[in-house]
Every structure is written in structure tokens, then in C-alpha cells.
Amino acid sequence: MTAQLEVAQSRQRCAQCGRELTERDASPSCPACGGLLELVHEATISAQELRSRFAARSPLSRGMESSGVWRYRELVLPSAMPDEIVSHPEGNTPLLERQAISKWTGVSALLLKHEGHNPTGSFKDRGMTVGVTQARRIGATAVACASTGNTSASLAAYAAHAGLRALVFVPAGQVALGKLTQTLAYGATTLLVRGDFDQCLALARQAAAELGVYLVNSINPFRIEGQKTIALELLQQLEWNAPDWIVLPAGNLGNTAAVGKAVEEAHAVGLIARKPRIAAVQATGAAPFARAFATGFRERASVRAETVATAIRIGAPASWDRAVHVIRSTNGVVTHVSDDDILEAKAVVDAAGVGCEPASAASVAGVRRLVREGIIGRDDSVVAVLTGHVLKDPGTLVRYHQETEPRPTHANRPLEIEPSMGEVQRVLG
Ligand code: F0G
């Protein structure tokens, strides 16, 4: 254990009624009103000191400090001790600049924060290292989640590492092959529920309450603390000069909530001088939050979700109130993009040699839409988050390239040939 580690306990607070709980309370939501909980840390360290501590920790550091989540431990979970932490390690993802993608969106200075570089291939690992660490700290023996696939893959990997039993609820027939494969490979008990994600989440909440299993969906405030580090890491990569915009795909809204909380806290402690605006992008067939934004969030809508981007095929987002707060406090926007636009954006990202899964491409398609509408300026600095790896959803990729008619501009079909040089010359024209 390093001598300078603080042991200050954080508190959990209900965002709705303000009730406070101790850091180790295992309630999945506020026992008084059912509202979502959030973590509150004591802010005792100056921005300058934080910056120099973060800079001193790197992927080459030893132990937890090599993690792109625990590097920011003062703002994540200061009291977690090194021997409690379950880390693969995660984070340390690149910030990429690719001209072809910038050009397609219309933004000259577009950067892509590629979260597909995490251990299980999605941003979920950032929240999961903290969620499973907390599960271990409170003595849980089993952990559970509902998922569209990435959370379950991540939970399975972290639970296996921690030696905890994992129980996952996923919508039958709606989980991309790569994600289901990972979840099974890492040994989670996998329930294919004949229903949608929203029904899976309701069932997972009930099962957690009745079976005494620790729930690590993004309603869990510890998951949110880990996911905040997408923003903290990209801000550090930009030397704490905030971009004009951070653009995210949005489904259950946990990530919008987390990135927004990070931005607010980084601004409050003085790590950044101004807050980036947050743009949340939904798929048109799963856009209750975008619809509500268009009416000033007067109503909380839910829809029957349908989209090719199965990761964000969610009709009743759980982190709704948290995300409304974030959009308001960052002067943010919410938009939606069609499946065709998502697949075209994905093909552009893939063809640049970067690659991502369909839901991730929603952020890039969203940038283009917001530029065309004059909301994002062509000279604004923009970071779009690519949330998952290209291999997560091979089925959609193969269908798009091989079966879509009329043939999309970016389609890259394999050419099957007889084993002769004549055939090679024939197909190469
Ligand atoms: N992108 C990907 C690749 C995702 O897997 C998810 C969510 C999102 C974006 C949206 O994030 O839900 O916090 O708004 N996947 C969850 C899951 C629901 O179960 O893996 P969100």
C-alpha cells in the first residue's frame, strides 16, 4: 500500500430526496423514495495537485495505477485499497484523428475516443472495475445485471477475475454474437429472456432484491464513478483544455450521466476552465430521450425500441433523471439518427481502419447531423466516443457488406474464386 493513499470515505446520496447512505450500503436505490443514488466525495485536493498525481501515473506504472480508471482514484473511489481492486486493467484508450472520418462529419477537428480498446472491447469495463470492486468490498458472493450484451460481457470477465458468481439477463435473439460469446466464455450464468432489454432490467432488479444478489447495472452509482473516467482521461489527453463538444451514443443513459458528472466535477475542482457541451445520440427507433428533449423534457417518455444498433435498443432508459440534469447543466443537446445513417457512419469508421460496433457509430452519425443542422460548428473541437469494438457485432457487419441491396457505397464484399492465378486476374479486372 502506498503511504500517501487517502482513506476518506465517500457518501451515497439520493439524487431525488437527498437522503444520505454510507459508502458501504448495498441498497440498489434510495430506500426512502426509490430514487437513483450517486456518490459524493470530499473535495480536499487542489486541481494542481490532482493534475500532478494523475500525470505521475501511467500504463507503465505498477499495480492499480496502471489502470486508466484507478489513475483517477481521488475522483472515483478514494477509499478503495489496492488489495480490494478488481482490475484487468482497463482504460488508457487512444484519442484518434482520422481525416476521412472528420471529412464525412464536416468537422475539421474531430477526435475519436476509442473505448473498444478496453479489455472486453467496450467502455463498460471502466464502470465494471469499480462495480465489482465494490461488490467485493461489501462481501457480495454473486453479482447480476441486465444487458444488451456489453455490460454482460464485462461483468462476466470481472466477476471471473474476482471469483464471484455472475448472473446475466439478456434479451433472447437480440444480443450481438461477439458479446454473447464473451459472456458465455467468461462463465456467467446467462439467461436468454424472451423479452426486450427493459423487461430484462425489471427482472434483474427483482431478482437482485429477492435473491440478495448485488446489482451492477449502471443504476449502480459505483459503475457511474468508473465510467466518468472516459471523460477524465480524454480531458487529460487534451492537457485539460476542454473540447467544445463531447458526443456519445445513448441508450440506458448511464454513460451520459457519467460523462456529465465527470465534466461537472472536473469543472468544480478547477481541472478544466469551462464545461464541454454534451450531445447524446439515440437511434431513431429507440429515441425516447431525444423526443423528450425536443419538448423541453416536459414528459418522461418510453417507446417500444427497434434498431440495428442492438446495444442501444432500449425504450425506457433507467438513468433518465441523471441525464436530464446533465443535458441541462452542460447546455447539451439530444438527437437521433436512422439505422441507415448509423450503418453508413460505421462503414466510414471501419474503412478508415479504426472500426467500431453499430451503436458506437451513432455518435459519428450524430456529429454529422448536428453539423448539418448548424448546432455543432465546423470549426468546433469535438470528441466523439466510440463505445465498442468492431468485432462485437460480426453479424450486422457481414449482412451490411454482403446482403444489403442496393449495394451501399462503402460495401466491401469478399470474392470467392477457384485456386488459380487466372481467377485472381479475372476478379481483379
Ligand atoms: N454503446 C455501446 C456499445 C453500448 O453497449 C451501450 C450500452 C451504449 C453505447 C449506451 O450507453 O446505455 O449508458 O446510454 N450498453 C448497455 C449494455 C445497455 O447492456 O451493454 P448507455
- The per-residue pLDDT for range 216-237, each reduced to its tens digit, is 999 999 999 999 999 999 999 9
pLDDT for residue 413 is more than 90: no
Ligand 1 centroid, distance to 388 Cα (angstroms) = 9
Burial level of 366, CB count in 10 A (0-12/13-18/19+)?
buried
Q: List Cβ neighbours of 393 (8 Å cut-off, separation of 6 or more).
A: 176, 177, 178, 179, 310, 357, 358
Helices (H), 3-110: 47-56, 73-76, 99-105
Instruction: Find out whether 301 and 335 touch, Cβ atoms under 8 Å.
Output: no
Distance CA 157, CA 128 (A): 9
**Ligand 1, residues at Cβ distance < 6 Å:** 122, 124, 147-151, 218, 249-256, 311-312, 357, 359-360, 387-388
- Percent of the residues in the chain that have a pLDDT greater than 70, as a whole number: 98
Torsion sign (Cα): 174, 175, 180, 183: negative
pLDDT for residue 118 is more than 60: yes
Total residue count of the chain as it appears in this document: 429
Q: Which atom of ligand 1 is nearest to the CA of 122?
A: 3
Residue from 397, 392, 355 nearest 179 by CA: 392
Say what the pLDDT of residue 197 is: 97
Ligand 1 centroid, distance to 250 Cα (angstroms) = 7
Distance CA 392, CA 399 (A): 14
Distance CA 11, CA 138 (A): 14
Residue 131 phi, psi dihedral angles, 5° rounding = -60, -45
Q: Which atom of ligand 1 is nearest to the CA of 148?
A: 19
pLDDT band at residue 411, thresholds of 50, 70 and 90? confident
Q: Whose CA is nearest to atom 12 of ligand 1?
A: 252
Which grid coordinates are listed for 188?
456467467
Say what the pLDDT of residue 7 is: 60
Strands 277-283 and 333-337: parallel
The stretch 96-109 carries a mean pLDDT of 97
Which residue of 205, 255, 391 sits with most ligand 1 atoms within 8 Å of its CB, as the best mutation to test the pocket? Answer: 255
Q: Which atom of ligand 1 is nearest to the CA of 392?
A: 3
Number of other CB atoms surrounding residue 360 within 10 Å = 34
In tens, the pLDDT along 163-213 reads 999 999 999 999 999 999 999 999 999 999 999 999 999 999 999 999 999
pLDDT for residue 405 is more than 50: yes
Ligand 1 centroid, distance to 252 Cα (angstroms) = 7
Angle, in degrees to the nearest 10, between helices 47-56 and 229-237: 90
Which residue of 117, 150, 363, 386 sits with most ligand 1 atoms within 8 Å of its CB, as the best mutation to test the pocket? Answer: 150
Which residue of 312, 324, 349, 396 sits with most ligand 1 atoms within 8 Å of its CB, as the best mutation to test the pocket? Answer: 312
Residue 256 vs residues 100, 261, 326, 388: alpha-carbon distances, Å: 27, 9, 7, 15
Instruction: Find out whether 148 and 174 touch, Cβ atoms under 8 Å.
Output: yes
Which grid coordinates are listed for 90?
482497463
Residue 406: asked if its preceding bond is cis (omega within 30°), the reply is yes
Ligand 1 centroid, distance to 14 Cα (angstroms) = 23
